[in-house]
Amino acid sequence: MSPKFAKIGLSVLVLGAAFGGLFYTTLAEGTEYYKHVDEVMVSPQPWYGKRLQLHGYVTKDSIRRKRESLDYRFTIENKGQTVQASYSGVVPDTFKDGAEVVLKGRLGPQGFDVEPDGVMAKCPSKYDASPNAPVRKPDHAKPAVTAS
C-alpha cells in the first residue's frame, strides 16, 4: 500500500471515530424518555437520575405552595400509581387539581424534581359538550343565501 493511501485511510478512520464519539455523546446527553406515572412507578429504581417527561394527572388536594415563594409540591397519578413532584417557578394557568400534566425532570428517591419551565398542563377541550348542555337544532326557518 502506498503512503498516500495509508494517510487517507488513517484520516478517514480518525474522522470517523471523532464523529462517532460526538454523535454518541450528543445522543446520551439529549435522550429524554416519555413515560406515564404508572409505567415508571411500578419499578422506579431503573429510572433514577434519567431525564424523563412524566405524564399524569394532578391528584386532588395535593398542590402545596410555600408561602411567599414559587416553590410547589404536588402529587401526580395515573392508573393508581402516584409520585410526589417538586417544582420552583411559575405554573401554567391550567395547572390545578385533576389537570393532565407532563413534567420534565428527573426521578429520585424523594420524588420527581421538575426542571425550570418543566410543567406543561393540558388545556381542557373547549369543544366537549357538557352533559347538561341543551341540544341545538338547526334553524331551518332562515332562507338559504344564494349567489346571484
Return contacts of 31-39, CB within 8 angstroms, 24+ apart: 32/104, 34/102, 36/78, 36/79, 37/76, 37/77, 37/78, 37/79, 37/81, 37/82, 37/83, 38/78, 38/79, 38/80, 38/81
Q: What mean pLDDT, rounded, does the chain reach?
A: 84
**Dihedral, CA of residue 72, residue 74, residue 78 and residue 79, to nearest 10:** 180
Return the SS3 of 148.
coil
Q: What is the pTM of this model?
A: 0.66
Res 134 pLDDT > 70: no
For 40-98, the pLDDT digits (tens) are 999 999 999 999 999 999 999 999 999 999 999 999 999 999 999 999 999 998 999 99
Which of 108 and 140 is assigned the larger pLDDT? 108
Whole-number Å distance between alpha carbons of 116 and 72 = 12
What pLDDT does residue 131 have?
65
All residues at 6 or more sequence positions from 112 whose CB lies less than 8 Å from its CB, including other chains: 52, 54, 76, 83, 84, 85, 86, 103, 105, 106
